[in-house]
Amino acid sequence: MTAGQELIFYIGTYGSEEENRIHWGAMDRGTGELRLLGGTAGIENPTYLDFDDSISVLYAASEKGESDVSAYSANLVNGELTLLNVQSTGSSGACHVSRTSSGKYLLTTGYSDGHISVLALEKDGRVGEITSKIKHSGRGLRDDRQSEAHPHSIFEDLLNQYIVVSDLGMDDVNLYRLEDGKLVTHREISLPPGSGPRHVAFHPSGKWVYGTNELNSTVTAYANDATFGDLKILQHISTLPEDVVMDSNTSSHLLVSPCGRYLYASNRGHDSIVQYVIDQEAGTLRAVNWVSSGGKTPRHFNILPDGFLLAANQDNGLIASYRIDPDTGNLVSTGYTLEVTRPVCICPVEKAKA
């Protein structure tokens, strides 16, 4: 592979700061072949990454007791990272990080202590001070996983109107307005008891939102009411085949294809990625295919340019490469894998487009 034919991507992992925890790899844009380029130590449990391609800065949430977020300047030729700064999130167990479209704010969730935080961003990408912090309070049905609030992800919606927070512990999806860097409570959408909402993905039309529910292995389809700032539940659908009963399974990540025709979600336990067809009139889902995730415990995956998907299998350390069939959306294994210890996030430097 030559550099011009490759796409650089970053890999977040679980582990101590003494060893390389953020790795960078390259994918051949024609074949999906993968190779490891390098890595950096000095950060504990960088379990979620976000890349700002406008200034080539990578953000990494450090999921630990007193969490922080790190900003790195990225060399797009070889993937090398240079630390810009580290800033406390004011929370514990920060497991997600994302940015607002304005580039002014960084958003994080503290899974362990229930806090969600907003931090200012400098023009050069450095992370500034906390501008807002809210603590979720409540619980869900299950004593083992829902005895308290556990915000798991935080995103700005595609219309840049609301901040969407999935709280696994409370069985709620919370909508906030962001006013001058301050979070303002707007609306709360309740899921069936024991659902455990984890992540959301937005349809490129802006009309629909989809969310994985970790604890009951389902995906919820929502109609996005942009006028009143509400998510109307359209459907709950299993992430598992009809003939499979697996109480130990937990659903994890999900993404809408850039073309808007398909949704993918990962199963940990069944160790698969399910493909749904999205009804282009109603926004509802129909499951059409399951493929092996290529390893064990696919916590995360991402869609890369040129029609590829990479799945991060946490428990056996394999990143598996798939080609997305342009006609059917089916995932076809390329046969290429990459071995990295406990990979849990894939973050390319370039976004996939329709």
pLDDT digits (tens, 9 = 90+) for 161-171: 999 999 999 99
Q: For residue range 222-254, list pLDDT tens digits in order.
A: 999 988 999 999 999 999 999 999 999 999 999
- Is pLDDT above 70 for 256? yes
Burial of 14 (0-12, 13-18, 19+ CB in 10 A): middle
Is the predicted pLDDT of residue 2 greater than 80, yes or no? no
Cβ neighbours of residue 131 closer than 8 Å, sequence gap 6 or more: 105, 118, 119, 120, 181, 182
pLDDT of the residue at 354: 84
pLDDT at 3: 53
Q: What is the pLDDT of residue 150?
A: 98
Burial group, residue 36, by CB count within 10 angstroms (0-12, 13-18, 19+) = middle
The answer, yes or no, to whether residue 1 has pLDDT greater than 70, is: no
Average pLDDT of the chain, as a whole number: 97
Name the residue among 32, 42, 14, 36 with its Cα closest to residue 23: 36
With a threshold of 0.95, does the pTM exceed it?
Answer: yes
Q: What is the mean pLDDT of residues 126-133?
A: 98
Q: How many helices (H) and strands (E) does the chain have?
A: 0, 28
Instruction: Report the alpha-carbon distance of residue 62 to residue 64 in Å, rounded.
Output: 6
Would you tell me how many other CB atoms lie within 10 Å of the CB of residue 279?
15
By C-alpha distance, which of 28, 36, 38 is closest to 334?
28
